[in-house]
Structure 1
């Protein structure tokens, strides 16, 4: 359920249903979806005002950054079951219309082919960036997004500008980079969340809900936590490939991954600055005891490939053979060598569940 961007445009998760597809390599993201279910039940039970949509009307739900499934279908099932339960106490339920959103280049064909045959809703695809308006004013009752808002709309321009103090030569992320690089990422994230919240404020009905899971790190935590080590090691592999003549070093210097992990304090501040939503709850749904040790280095590599293959191919213009060498040999080997420290760092990351209500 992610959306990815680069300086040259939106790049989706790997489509289709093959071995390297996102559909077959998103079980780690499924953990977040499963852990969200009880919070969704609570959010709808406690904060959904059924008067925002009389049972004779259509209840409209949007899933932003849906990718190709199956996680989006599970999330929509969880939401609709919770809404049905709430409405059943008043005698009847409305019909449901679910809008699946991702970039226009997303594999909507695979998404539609794999729709559950007995789905209790009408389905539609909505192409476009969720950092912009996607729906008419005051038409949505619930907006949901999982595993998506850590993607930036673009790589911060400063990190690829050779004349900027934030130029990120030799690295592909702000992890362990100069503070100016981190500042550029943070500023881009703030700009993107501001645009996201402004668009949703226009689209959601008064007292409608927004249910978001957001990848994050604890307040005051070092920036290398979370996905940083995974990306950092990927950058080392790309530099190795440049040294072997498989990639151009200048291309590696200009390659940066548009991912940012916020903190609870930063996210709260951004929502409050928007002034259109009440923060009902912010919950950490991925506690430290989450057992990451059961996941192999190759599994992490396969999941990273499903997310990053399109971005890397576009930027470097490399062949399938080069991609195979990266994700079947170099990357899993480096991950294996660093797995203990990697898991220790990732185990300290968090996932925030935000329950927001439109004022």
Structure 2
């Protein structure tokens, strides 16, 4: 299964480079979420990392999946490393702190050049880039002690096949996402998420040592709430209306719009728990809602900033399907519509949660 998933997974890299529209310059929102998770991350390592793991190797391996181009990945790694060091030191003044090896993982099309150029000069770890989709195997058996991933698990491995098939009941004509679409489209996205999460947990169960940890920061939606409750889903709905507006003006082809869908799904904590239970190789050691304050109450005031952040994360998708020519006009229109239609966000919220999974003994 892992080999097949690796072969079929599509790549959705963040905006490369260090320019004004780049992910490196427009990911402060994700940094805010990481700040909110820092205390929980420290607590998770202190309470759940087994002493046996600390003593089993002279090199401690940390992996950040979906690292993108920085700087947020370096901040997360620093927090993990300091937490592990504190765990070692708590064992006594004579505890031997090991060397640390950090693996930065993302798709092969990720801008690793910017990532490596931005590496902190005062880092206390050896760094290596590991290209490949995290829906497939990327590390040897039982070789990683802590896996971290933040703001990545909402990305599907691919657009659900049926939503782009005009002969399928799940054809998503006139929309680019599942919000306010048919039940068949929603089920297609749900099924793709279930398959992807099954694969993600399966391959991680092979790579993480017994007793090792996986800590995930996930954008999602509260248990028992409709998909319309997630503010990000409304964002993609609004982007879709922008494309339709451009199609009516003849700027883009309507057929092109019908063939385009965003490969993103916002899970609930219960959906993650169900996937972990079905996998059977991990225990859920903790799951907390992050106390992050959204700026969506003032969408009209922060529209340019929101547009830049959304563009940095999704430009690659639009460029691949529609080309470069429409990008400026699309996101300018999106910014204007954020201001004009900001009321559509009133019944939504930004929901992020933090999950700690522990690898069970074989």
Q: Which band: TM-score by shorter chain?
A: over 0.9
Task: Give the match for residue 66 of structure 1.
Answer: 67
Task: Give the match for residue 127 of structure 2.
Answer: 123
Contact 2:9 2:157 in 1 (8 A): no
Task: Give the match for residue 77 of structure 2.
Answer: 76
Task: Give the match for residue 247 of structure 1.
Answer: 252
Deviations 1:308-348 (A, max 9, x none): 111101111242xx211111x21101011122332x3442x
After superposition, where does 1:28-177 map in structure 2 within 5 Å?
28-54=29-55, 57-90=58-91, 91-177=95-181
Task: Give the match for residue 337 of structure 1.
Answer: 340
Q: Is residue 307 of structure 1 aligned with residue 313 of structure 2?
A: yes
CA pair 206-8 structure 1, distance change in 2 beyond 3 A? closer
Q: Distance in 2 between matches of 1:118 and 1:10?
A: 31
Moved more, 138-147 or 310-319: 310-319
Query: How many angstroms does 1:56 deviate by?
Result: 5.9
Counterpart secondary structure, 2:153 = coil
Q: Distance in 1 between matches of 2:18 and 2:324?
A: 22
After superposing on structure 2, the runs of 4+ consecutive aligned residues of structure 1 that deviate more than 6 Å are none
Q: Is residue 182 of structure 1 aligned with residue 186 of structure 2?
A: yes
Q: Is residue 317 of structure 1 aligned with residue 323 of structure 2?
A: yes
Counterpart secondary structure, 1:206 = strand
Query: How many angstroms does 1:243 deviate by?
Result: 1.1
Counterpart secondary structure, 1:170 = coil
Q: Distance in 2 between matches of 1:222 and 1:49?
A: 38
Q: Distance in 2 between matches of 1:45 and 1:53?
A: 12
Contact 2:69 2:114 in 1 (8 A): yes
CA RMSD, aligned part only? 1.6
TM-score by length of 1: 0.94
Task: Give the match for residue 290 of structure 2.
Answer: 285
Query: How many angstroms does 1:8 deviate by?
Result: 8.9
Contact 2:283 2:358 in 1 (8 A): yes
Q: Which of 262, 272, 276 is equivalent to 1:267?
A: 272
TM-score by length of 2: 0.93
Gaps of 5+ in 1: none
Counterpart secondary structure, 2:212 = strand
Moved more, 94-103 or 9-18: 9-18
Q: Distance in 2 between matches of 1:22 and 1:311?
A: 14
Q: Distance in 1 between matches of 2:116 and 2:71?
A: 11
Task: Give the match for residue 224 of structure 1.
Answer: 228
Q: Distance in 2 between matches of 1:56 and 1:202?
A: 18
